Structure 1
C-alpha cells in the first residue's frame, strides 16, 4: 500500500488480492470514520502531535484557544529538546541522512498520502523522533533534583503518554529505534525498546519485539504474550459472541468468578532487563474449568478465571486505539476485539459490574458502575471481530447455563448455604427434621424398630 486511503480490512472485504511486498510497510492508519463518530476525542491527540496526520493542527483547531496547554507550547518544547539533542550529539549528520534515505519508506508506513514537501516531511520526522527519544531518556534518568519541565508535571506527562498511544499519532518504531542507536548506541546501557516499555509502564514482549511497528502495536504485543491462540482458528470475520448469558445469570447457574492478578504492569524498582510478561497472567488469558479445591467431585464448581482489569479515565481511549489497529491491520486476528466482545457479553447491567468488582476482576477508578457498563457496551459498536479465540469458553459457559441441575444446585446453595451460619442452620434443621420423622415412624410402626426374637 502506498497510502491509497483504504485499509487492509477493506481490501479483504472487497475481494481484492493483496500482494505482500517486502517494501509494503503500511501500518499507521487513519481511524475509520464509523469508529471516530462514536468517540472522536479517543483518537485525537490533546497535547502533542506526532507524525503527519495531526501535524500543524493548531492552524485549524478552534479549540486551541480554550486549552490550558496549546499546540504551539509543545512545539516550542520540541524545539528545545531538539536543540539540546543536536548540541550534545556528534552524529547529527548521520541522523539526518538516515531520514533522507528512508523518506519514501517512512511515507509508505502511512495509509494516506501527504502533500508535505521532502524538506518539511524530513524535518517533521526528525523533530518528533528527537522529542520522543529525549523524553524517554529523561524519564529513564529522572532525578528529583534535576527534573525535566514536562516530567515535573504529572498531568502533562500522563497526557503525553496517552497521546503517544493513539493510532494516528505514530512514527514507525524502526525509525525511532535506528535514530536512537545512531545517536547513543549502547552508551545508555538500555535498548530503545526497554526505554519505551519503562516510559509506558509495561513489560517487554520478548521475541515478539522484532515485529513491532509502532507504540500501539507494541502495546498489543505485550497483551498477547502468554495467550495461547489456536493455530487452526479460522481466519474469517463475523466472530461476534452471541447469546452468552450475562455474568449475573452465569453466577446464578453456579459459575464461580475468580480474579487472576495481572502482571502486565511493571512495578517501581523492578528490573527492566527481566521484563517478560508472566504467561499465566496476561490480560487476555481467560480460562474456564472445574475448581479443584473440593474433595467431593460432584461439588466442584465451574470457575471462570479472568485477569484483573483496572478501569481508569484513559482505559477506553487505549482500548479503542488497539481495536482500531486490529480493524485496519489485523482484520483476521482481532484478539483485543474478541476480549472486549466477551466482556461486553458478560456485562449487560450494572449488577454484572457489581459482581465482577466484588470478585476482584474489575477495579473501578472512574466512579459509578453504570459508566463501566456503558463503556463496554459501546466499545464494540461498528467493530467487526474475527473468529473469537474464546469460542470454546463461550460454548462451555452456554452448556453449563443450559443444564437445569446446575441452576437448581446453585439456587439451593445460595438460599441454604450462602454463608457458614446459614449452612450450619440448614444442616441442624435437616438433622432435626430427620430425627422427628424417625420418631414419628417409630410411634406408628414400632415393629420396624423391634429386633425379632
Structure 2
C-alpha cells in the first residue's frame, strides 16, 4: 500500500503471535490526511498492510472485504432488540437442569427435543379445540396477524438458529408462535379463571381435574426459563384477533396480559403498580418486574444509623455477615411483609429482609433471573443478582437458616435446613462480586464494619461462648449464683470476725 511503512520485524512478530509485535504504523511524508482517519479505518489499514504482505501470518483468517467495514447500526439494533437468550456454557455448566424445560417447549430454542415431543400433540390439539369453539375466528386471521409482527418477534430471539430465521423459514416460525401462544393462553386461562371457563373433558390429561397436579406446576416452571420464553407480543396478537373478553375478569377492563401472566406465575403476589403501563417482554420479565418493585406504602432502601464506610467500598467484602454473626453482634433481624428484593431496609441495628419462600423451584427461578440480568443488554441495574449474592453471605450454616426461620424471613418448604444452605451455595457458585451500584454492597460493608467494632466483637465472643448452647444460660446463671454466694459468705465471715475482735 502506498503511504504506509510496516517494519519487517513487526510483520514477523505478528506472524509468530508475539505480544511485542504491536507497532504504531505511521504514513510516510506527504501521505497524511489532514483530518485523520477514523479509528476503525486506521485499524483496517494496519490489518490490510500486514495481510497484504508476502507472509500473511496470523491475519490470513481476516476476510478482506470486511477489513474496512465498522460495526453497523443493524448489528447494534439487533443486540438491543433481543430479550430471549440461550445460556452460555460457562453459566449452564453450574446447573444444567435449571435451564432446560421438563414438560413443554415454548418458542424455537428447545422445539423438537425428544423429551418434550409428547406435549407437541397436546399443543396442536389445544389449537384445534380453540378454533372449533363457537364464534372462533378462522386460522387465516391469526396467521395474518402473526405474520405482520413476525419480524419484531424474530428479533426478540438472540442468535436465532438459521432454520428458524429469514423469509424462507417464516412459515415455521409463525406456526410455532401461534401454537405455543395458544397453548400458553389456554393453560393460564384455565388456571386463573376458574373451572367455569374450562370446556375440556374432565378426563383431559392436560386440562382435566388432575391438571393442577400433573400439568400446571411444570408449565409454570418451564415458563420461567430464559431459553423457553415466548414474547407476550405473540399473546397480544392472538387475543386481539379473538376479540376476547375473558381477560377482563382478571383485572378490571382492558386486555391485561401482564396481570394475567403474573397471576398464573405467582398467585399470591400483589400486582405491582404500573404493571399495565406497557406490555412486558415475556413471562420471565413479568415475574422479575414483580420481584423488584417496591409496593405502595413501603419505604425505599436505606442504611441510616449504621457506621459510615469509605466512599468507594470494595465490590467483594470479606467480613462475616452471616445471620448468626449479625445476631451475636447485636443486629436485630426482622421480616418485611414483601417479596420484593428491593425491600431490604437497615436502620440503626435493625436489618429488615423480605420474605423468602424456599422450595424446589427457588434455584431454577433465581438462576434464570440472574442469567436474564446478565445477558439482557438493555438492563442498567441488577437487583436480583445483588440480592442473591447478599443472601448467600447471610445464609452460611444450618444455624443461620434456623434463626431466619424463627424470624419468619425464610419459609422453608424443603424440610431440611441443610438443603437451604446447599441451595445458596449453588446460587453463589458463579457469583463473585456485587453488581456495580448495588445498594446491598453498601449495607454489606456497613454491617461488616459494625461487626468488627471492638464492642461488637466482645459481645459476639460472649454470645458464642456462653449463649449459643440452650444449656449455657442455665450454667452461667448457676455459676453466677454460686459466685455471689461465695462472695456473700466471705463478706459475712469477715464482718463476724471484725465484730468479735471489737467485742
Please classify the TM superposition score into its range, dividing by the shorter chain length. Answer: 0.7 to 0.9
The alignment partner of 2:226 has SS state of coil
Distance 1:437 1:226 in 2: 63
Q: CA deviation at 1:334?
A: 1.6
Match of 2:293 in 1: 225
Matches within 5 A, 1:119-268: 119-143=171-195, 147=202, 149-151=205-207, 152-153=210-211, 154-189=213-248, 190=250, 191-201=256-266, 202-209=269-276, 210=278, 212-226=280-294, 228=300, 239-262=315-338, 264=339
Q: 1:50 aligns with which of 106, 119, 124?
A: 106
Matches within 5 A, 1:393-432: 393-409=443-459, 415=466
Match of 1:74 in 2: 119
Q: Please, what is the CA RMSD of the aligned residues?
A: 3.5
Shift in CA distance, 23/339, structure 1 to aligned 2, threshold 3 Å: closer
Distance 1:316 1:436 in 2: 62
Distance 1:175 1:426 in 2: 73
The alignment partner of 1:168 has SS state of helix
Q: 2:408 aligns with which of 348, 356, 360?
A: 360
Shift in CA distance, 345/92, structure 1 to aligned 2, threshold 3 Å: same
Match of 2:394 in 1: 346
Match of 2:435 in 1: 386
The alignment partner of 2:347 has SS state of strand
Distance 1:310 1:165 in 2: 16
Q: CA deviation at 1:91?
A: 5.8
Q: CA deviation at 1:213?
A: 0.9
Q: 1:373 aligns with which of 384, 398, 421?
A: 421
TM-superposition CA deviations, 1:279-318 (whole Å, max 9, x none)? xxx244112223xxxxxxxxxxx22221221111111011
Distance 1:416 1:326 in 2: 42
| Aligned residue-pair number | 385
Distance 1:243 1:211 in 2: 42
Q: CA deviation at 1:421?
A: 8.1
Q: 1:286 aligns with which of 337, 341, 344?
A: 344
Unaligned stretches of 5+ residues in structure 1: 1-15, 59-63, 65-70, 231-235, 265-281, 291-301, 447-453
Match of 2:157 in 1: 110
Which is greater in Rg?
Answer: 2
Distance 1:358 1:177 in 2: 44
Match of 1:334 in 2: 382
Distance 2:130 2:92 in 1: 36
The alignment partner of 1:118 has SS state of helix
Shift in CA distance, 239/222, structure 1 to aligned 2, threshold 3 Å: farther
Distance 1:251 1:229 in 2: 21
Distance 1:240 1:284 in 2: 20
Distance 1:122 1:133 in 2: 16
Distance 2:490 2:336 in 1: 47
The alignment partner of 2:352 has SS state of strand
Match of 2:13 in 1: none
Q: CA deviation at 1:186?
A: 3.4
Shift in CA distance, 340/23, structure 1 to aligned 2, threshold 3 Å: closer
Q: Is the 8 A contact 2:178 2:234 kept in 1?
A: no
Q: CA deviation at 1:182?
A: 2.6
The alignment partner of 2:346 has SS state of strand
Q: Is the 8 A contact 2:321 2:444 kept in 1?
A: no
Q: CA deviation at 1:402?
A: 1.0
Residues 376-385 or 74-83, more deviating: 376-385
Q: CA deviation at 1:99?
A: 1.0
TM-score after normalising by structure 1: 0.74
Distance 1:289 1:257 in 2: 11
Q: 2:359 aligns with which of 288, 312, 326?
A: 312
Q: Is the 8 A contact 1:177 1:192 kept in 2?
A: yes
The alignment partner of 2:189 has SS state of helix
Q: CA deviation at 1:369?
A: 2.2
Match of 2:65 in 1: none
Match of 1:97 in 2: 144
